[in-house]
Amino acid sequence: MRTVALNQNELEALRILWEHGVAKPAEIQSHFSWPLENATLRSVLVNLVEKGHVTRTLRGKTFFYEARVKKTALLRNMLQTMAHVFAAGSKQELVVQLVKTGDLMPEDLEVIRRTMAEGATKETKR
């Protein structure tokens, strides 16, 4: 997947499609976390289709939208970009930066530790 910049509205539309599946614009708009004009939403959806993150299908007279990109794939790509920009390409250094800036709390680190331990356990069972 190539890196394509996404703005806040595009990320929110993707979040909604990941959570709710195939939807028409009015349904997407109703789930937005902030007010969004209909014309703005339509521009957002067209941009996402053009960027290859969303598909659009005509059913009768209505367009339906579906996320084409998987949430995990986009997250992985965005983390790689953030690591490149903020931490010389190191994901480890990116996490260190998050801890240093106070964006991760001790309880967050505990969840990460447990998740890593669970992942390691699954790897040894394979």
Domains of the chain: 8-67 (1.10.10.10), 71-125 (no CATH)
Higher pLDDT: 109 or 16? It is 16
Model confidence at 126, pLDDT cuts 50, 70, 90, reads: very low
Find residue 62's DSSP bridge partners: 59
Instruction: Give residues with Cβ within 8 angstroms of 96, minimum separation 6.
Output: 87
Mean pLDDT over residues 83-103, rounded? 87
Mean pLDDT, the chain, integer: 90
Work out the pLDDT band at 122, boundaries 50, 70, 90: low
Q: E-strand spans in 1-126?
A: 54-59, 62-67
Contacts of 114 (CB under 8 A, 6+ apart): none
* pTM of structure: 0.80
